[in-house]
Each structure stands twice: as structure tokens, then as C-alpha cells.
Amino acid sequence: MTAPIFSLLAAAFYLGGTLYQIRCLMRRRSASPNLLRAIGVVALLSHAGSLYVQMVTADGLSFGFFHVSSLIAWLVLAVILMFSLRAPVTSLLIVLFPLALITDVLAWLFPGHGAALIPGKSAVLVHVLLSILAYGILTIAAFQAALLAVQNNQLKHRNPVRFNRTFPPLQTMEALLFQFLLCGEVLLTLALISGFIFLDNMFAQNVAHKTLLSCLAWVVFGILLWGRHFRGWRGSYAIRWTLGGFLLLMLAFFGSKMVSEFILPI
């Protein structure tokens, strides 16, 4: 009964944080960053307890579809809360709290469906954890790009709705986007290198599409970072390339995992 208690406690705090932000939005005032961080920390601790109970087994670590989704959401939120101590990123929490809530509940309701078990001391675990870190950071970049698109659209049409008022300036949002992209690209590079080192064949039939799509995403993010540095790309260029690379990455990971666990389970 431990996992349900942790999951429900985390869900309650995620829901409370979401409702608080919506209330502030409706009243046209800024949410308290300190209160949001406090809610987020308690929710993360409860969420971590739920993940630990569900994923750590006697045979190894369980990496089922919903487990990994929940872990990535946890990681994304943890990074944002730490980053919020030195940068204005708490506006992202209005999207991340509900996302963490949904993945937390789904991981509890559907534990271990077709889950892959990886021994705790396996070298493959290094590749898996690096991949999850990369996906987590690049997920933050994708949300940042989506919010940047909303903000850019509203300003372009000279219609700054109340939702826009919670955002930092465009220049700040854009700078944060490229910081996340650079960090995510480095982690994705390490994940791909570790995969070629620790896996027998990265282009085996069951993982070839995943490897190809991940490499394509790596190229897309690399071109975007090059364009930013040498050509000064920004605005719509940054948004489109970020979301395009993220789509490839999600198809690589979640698409292949969904097929292997739910459509064509082995």
C-alpha cells in the first residue's frame, strides 16, 4: 500500500499547485515562487517515494512505459525547481505540475506493464540513465519553445493576454531555451556514445529505428545550436527546430517503447 499513498500524496500537491497558479492567473497576479517551490519539493519527495517502490525490484530496475514517463516528468520538474533559484522559470510549472500529476497516477495505476528489467549493476544502466536525463532536459526545452511561441504570437498580434503576463521577457525566455538545448545536446551525445559502447548492436532490428531517430534529433539540435552561434537564429527558427527535434526524440523513445509494450509485446 506504500506506492498508492506516495502517489496520491504527490498528486494532491501537484493538483494544489496547479489550482493555485490558475487562481493567480485569473486574478491577474503573479504566483509566489517560494510557495510554488515549497509545493513542488513536497510533491517531488512523495513522487520519488512512489517511483522507488514501483521501480526498484529484487530482479533489477523496472523501466516500463509509464514508469519512465513518470521518471522523466519527475526529473523535468526537479531541474526546473533547482533552476528557478537563479532564473525566472516558475511560469513553466503551470504546465509541468499537471504533467507530473498525470504521469504519477498512470505509473501507479498501470505498474510494470511489459516493463524491461535492468540489473542495478549493468553497464546498460549508464546508457539508460543518460538517455532519460537527455530526454528530460530536452523536454524542458520543448515546453520552453511552446510557451515562447505563445508569447511571441500574442506580442506579434499586440494582444498580451493575462497568461502572457506571467512570462519573463522574450529575450530571457529565448536565452533559457538555448541553455536547456545545449545541456540536452551534451547529454544526448553522451547517451548515444554510451549506447554504442555498452550495447551489442545499436542498429539491431528491434532498436534500429530508435537509434536512427535519436541520431536525427541529435543532428537537428546540433544544427540549431550552430545556427544560433554563427547565424544568430532566434524566434520562429528556434521554436520550429526545437519542436521538430523533440518530436523525433519522442518518436524514438516513447514511440518505440509504446509499440514494444502495448502493440507488439514480446
Summarised one tens digit per residue, pLDDT across range 103-124 is 999 888 887 655 566 665 567 7
Burial of 177 (0-12, 13-18, 19+ CB in 10 A): buried
Quick one: CA torsion of 112, 216, 227, 233, rounded to 10 degrees?
-60
Kind of pairing between the strands at 60-62 and 56-57: antiparallel
Do residues 87 and 133 share a domain?
no
pLDDT of residue 258: 60
Do residues 111 and 135 share a domain?
no
Give residue 217's domain range. Answer: 123-266
pLDDT of residue 161: 53
Do residues 95 and 141 share a domain?
no
Q: How many domains does the chain have?
A: 2
pLDDT digits (tens, 9 = 90+) for 186-235: 999 999 998 888 777 676 656 677 888 899 999 999 999 999 988 888 88
Q: Which of 91, 65, 82 is nearest to 170 (CA)?
A: 91
Count of Cβ atoms closer than 10 Å to residue 187 Cβ: 19
Burial of 185 (0-12, 13-18, 19+ CB in 10 A): buried
Give yes or no for residue 264 having a pLDDT over 70: no
pLDDT of residue 218: 94
Give yes or no for residue 19 having a pLDDT over 90: yes
Q: Return d(Cα 50, Cα 184) in angstroms, integer.
A: 26
pLDDT of residue 8: 92
pTM attached to this predicted model: 0.81
Do residues 155 and 257 share a domain?
yes
Is the separation of the CB atoms in 111 and 54 below 8 Å?
yes
Do residues 206 and 162 share a domain?
yes
> End of a domain among 119, 138, 153?
119
pLDDT digits (tens, 9 = 90+) for 48-83: 999 998 888 777 777 778 888 899 999 999 999 998
Do residues 71 and 114 share a domain?
yes
Q: Return d(Cα 261, Cα 64) in angstroms, integer.
A: 8
Res. 7 pLDDT band, cuts 50 70 90: very high
Structure-block grid coordinates of residue 107 = 505509473
